[in-house]
Structure 1
């Protein structure tokens, strides 16, 4: 401040900072999906800086119901819940892998139908236009769409948003399935993805999905447990004991073969019938007490036991059968058929914990309660990799820079990928005639689970034989950052005199910025002259209106994707 003591005109010089280029944010994702809550101040998007902040504004995960099934000789097992809403778990993975501030676009509260709707996700994708900062687009709930075609529809809509030239955006996509499932046309998950998703250098896809250390959130205080008896989950038929019936049929066939061969051994036949009775008695013990058909099963067991006793007593010794005996004909007295017929009607639908809230089970059956809690802790969440990759992008950008390929990097909170990928399998993922490269996530001994690829969905070289400059994730994202940062800097020169001093000032500003980028290793070239070129001057269009023309050329660094190690040796002369 001036020390004003004498009246008059005083002059104070204010130093103005020189023009500079500010780096654009490169790894601020926007997550689009369903949430438990929607904050009052929510409009189009909401920026958060931590998982705690998300929980305060959007709540937690959807609590799943507990479904148990009986497993022979093992007790109860927890049936993995059909989780549809993955936003909360995805944010856990994002922050655990290095994520920072991000935007949340809620597609709505968890619906009572428990289904993800395409229209809700589409509305969320359109909201991206109202926010300028996000540079990554993530849709955690997209794989939960019931219709696979809807998944590819929303994926292509996300790609179109990422391709907007005026924005610094990049999409991280998942595959619909977490492994190489083959469909009706014998196409794998990757084949269908490549057929349905548009080619672009503004997006990358990762495969397979990830087994995490995260636990599912279960409703332990309100929703009653569904406890199924000894049966296979998701069984198409109403017959619960298919395997047991098949075993009885095999015993029946063996008995028929023994009889049809002539002079059957009664004790061998008795052994077959004894095994059949043992199977039926095990079913009788495990089936529901009020099961329809159980009385018929008990009757069939008792009758078969009477026949068994008669064989050992020698009361039954004639096992002749008609000449036209087939596999379904009774071997003797129809015992096998009677047992099978009775088992078909037996149901084992309910277990001991059925209809009980887990909290109440602790007091009524502590042993079963502890077993259920153990099952809950052992069951881990499986997630698509996009959210974890968003965290990896953020981590690599902050430690090294956006110009560093987000590959050969490990994950946090990941146990293993859902499918192991070999070198030969990755070769097919890495390059394809469609140009749509899929980045593999692989497990290596001693290293853990690593991202093992950094290519975009436009990874094929050009038809003229020249290299495709946009096939690498870091090249596309770094170029997007440069373009946006330089564009914002040049806005400072709008309305400045279009004369040589202005041109020199703009050129010096850009060259200082690019020289710093070159020194950090972002640009290729031994000297600055090889790394970048800036030219600023007047440009005159057809209307003779002078404009300031800026030309910037940069040599972008590429990842050392392939390393060839050559050995040579020379034998000692003898």
Structure 2
């Protein structure tokens, strides 16, 4: 404090921080998709910093209905539901893999019948003017019914990233395996055919089987319990073995009759076997199926008629059998009993399971054994997700631990059991470097290491020619350059309206050199000495007196993508 009591000159030292560059955020993703609700409103980007905050403002996953299927010899198994809305699960993967603050753009709630391109495109448009998001992720995009819309959406996102130049798009493939075809093209070929080449985007393959479980409605929605017969499976297919057996019994009966001296008891035995087959089917048949209102009653009637014939044989009422080809339409046809049983079987269907129409909550008290089996099945069923959300978390983890200049590769993924497809060395060669330049980064399982991200190339991953390298083929090079550019642009705003003189130029140059020198010391820039790592020029513009020209050159670090080992040995 100044002492102003005595005459003289007093000096007060004022601490003033020098001009400095603040690092721009690099891993702030915007997740665009559907949520349970949105207390902040739909199509309004909202920043959260934890999964608990997500649940508070956007709710939980959609509760799926339980569908069971009987499996012969194994009891029941649960059928994986066709989940459309993946935002909730994707946020779990994001935070589990190191993600931090992010933006949520809820485009609609779960009452939507299906994922719509127009909804996701609207959410993308709403995020364009937000300055902070640096990554774009679409968790629900793979649920679009139209594959063309899926790739159109990603191309729109890439176009936005190239316009604003401060964000990066993480892409998925529409299918999680390479074998699914669209026309004459498989998943990878179709992806490359439809997606725009760009250094502002990267794609990852395949999809991931996670440790996350589906969220089921255990209290309100009744269970759908399918019997042994699959949904949509015809009775001719399901009972094919039994029908073939009936045909064989009919053939044997016809041969016996054709011999001219048919043994009644042999025929009775053959028909008895046919009745036994039909009765076994009837015991497990559903009561109504197909166009006939009571198909089980028709089968029961056919069985009873066959039994009448059997009784007639045993009591001697029927003792004369004719060759089927010689019979007229009014004569009794013994082999026709087999045809009647077959026709009735073709119209029945295996009945539904014991839990059909009951909620899981009510099943707990009525059938605890089945309830416990279903709960075990639910815990064993794991959801499959596209990798983009997990990769957004990896970007954040690598950026915070090492820096944005470190390639987000050769790092493990959390909450992942296995990729949906095993990528071979030959397949990865094609994924990594392709004539189109549209590289796709593989996710692979390594023994003793876990699930690793094994690639860090953008969708502009091809060199211009053999002599000229493409500097934008690596994910971290593009993202680091964008970070430096945004950081320097923001820092230079401090000099707007400052005197355009050498003193101002010197301060700006010193500020930038200090920033870049620290980046070099951190390992972000190549070069053994500072002048090999960066160069800064700041000066006035002779033609435009109000303009201060700034030139920054940096030597970016490249990854050791290929390591060549040379071995030699000397014989004694």
SS in 1 for 2:15: coil
Q: 1:248 aligns with which of 222, 243, 252?
A: 243
Could you say if the C-alpha distance between residues 278 and 208 of structure 1 is closer, same or farther in structure 2, counting changes exceeding 3 Å?
farther
Could you say if the C-alpha distance between residues 253 and 538 of structure 1 is closer, same or farther in structure 2, counting changes exceeding 3 Å?
farther
CA distance in 1, matches of 2:182, 2:158: 27
> Counterpart in 2 of 1:186?
184
Could you say if the C-alpha distance between residues 253 and 100 of structure 1 is closer, same or farther in structure 2, counting changes exceeding 3 Å?
same
Q: Deviations over 1:456-510 (max 9, x none)?
A: 1111111464221111111111111111111111111222222222222222211
Q: Does structure 1 retain, via aligned residues, the 8 Å contact 2:286–2:352?
A: yes
Q: Which runs of 5+ in 2 are unaligned?
A: 327-332
> Counterpart in 1 of 2:123?
124
CA distance in 2, matches of 1:361, 1:164: 56
Q: 2:167 aligns with which of 166, 169, 187?
A: 169
Q: Does structure 1 retain, via aligned residues, the 8 Å contact 2:246–2:342?
A: no
> Counterpart in 1 of 2:208?
210
Deviates more, 1:6-15 or 1:563-572: 6-15
CA distance in 2, matches of 1:554, 1:564: 27
SS in 2 for 1:116: coil
CA distance in 1, matches of 2:500, 2:314: 114
SS in 1 for 2:221: coil
Could you say if the C-alpha distance between residues 115 and 32 of structure 1 is closer, same or farther in structure 2, counting changes exceeding 3 Å?
same
SS in 2 for 1:164: helix
CA distance in 1, matches of 2:266, 2:571: 75
> Counterpart in 2 of 1:230?
228
Deviates more, 1:270-279 or 1:529-538: 270-279
Q: Deviations over 1:54-107 (max 9, x none)?
A: 111111111111122222222222121111111110000000010111111110
CA distance in 2, matches of 1:259, 1:273: 12
CA distance in 2, matches of 1:217, 1:515: 51
Q: Are 2:410 and 1:408 aligned?
A: yes
> Counterpart in 1 of 2:217?
219
Could you say if the C-alpha distance between residues 382 and 272 of structure 1 is closer, same or farther in structure 2, counting changes exceeding 3 Å?
farther
The Cα shift of 1:245 comes to 2.5
SS in 1 for 2:426: helix
Could you say if the C-alpha distance between residues 410 and 313 of structure 1 is closer, same or farther in structure 2, counting changes exceeding 3 Å?
farther
SS in 2 for 1:95: helix
> Counterpart in 2 of 1:199?
197
Q: Which runs of 5+ in 1 are unaligned?
A: 324-330
Q: Does structure 1 retain, via aligned residues, the 8 Å contact 2:171–2:388?
A: yes
CA distance in 2, matches of 1:390, 1:363: 44
The Cα shift of 1:283 comes to 2.5
Q: Does structure 1 retain, via aligned residues, the 8 Å contact 2:284–2:351?
A: no
CA distance in 2, matches of 1:85, 1:263: 68
Could you say if the C-alpha distance between residues 138 and 449 of structure 1 is closer, same or farther in structure 2, counting changes exceeding 3 Å?
same
SS in 1 for 2:514: helix
CA distance in 2, matches of 1:73, 1:377: 21
> Counterpart in 2 of 1:2?
2
> Counterpart in 2 of 1:134?
133
> Counterpart in 2 of 1:79?
79
Aligned residues: 558
TM-score, normalised to structure 2, is 0.89
SS in 1 for 2:103: strand
SS in 1 for 2:17: coil
CA distance in 2, matches of 1:354, 1:431: 51
How do 1:48-67 residues align onto structure 2 when only pairs under 5 Å count? Answer: 48-67=48-67
Could you say if the C-alpha distance between residues 335 and 385 of structure 1 is closer, same or farther in structure 2, counting changes exceeding 3 Å?
farther
> Counterpart in 2 of 1:555?
555
Q: Does structure 1 retain, via aligned residues, the 8 Å contact 2:423–2:444?
A: yes
CA distance in 2, matches of 1:566, 1:356: 68
Q: 1:288 aligns with which of 264, 286, 289?
A: 286
> Counterpart in 1 of 2:68?
68
Could you say if the C-alpha distance between residues 4 and 35 of structure 1 is closer, same or farther in structure 2, counting changes exceeding 3 Å?
farther
CA distance in 2, matches of 1:392, 1:270: 73
> Counterpart in 1 of 2:377?
375
CA distance in 2, matches of 1:225, 1:414: 29
The Cα shift of 1:4 comes to 4.3
TM-score, normalised to structure 1, is 0.89
Q: Are 2:30 and 1:39 aligned?
A: no
Q: Does structure 2 retain, via aligned residues, the 8 Å contact 1:230–1:287?
A: no
CA distance in 2, matches of 1:478, 1:98: 19
Q: Does structure 2 retain, via aligned residues, the 8 Å contact 1:248–1:336?
A: no
CA distance in 2, matches of 1:269, 1:390: 73
The Cα shift of 1:20 comes to 1.4
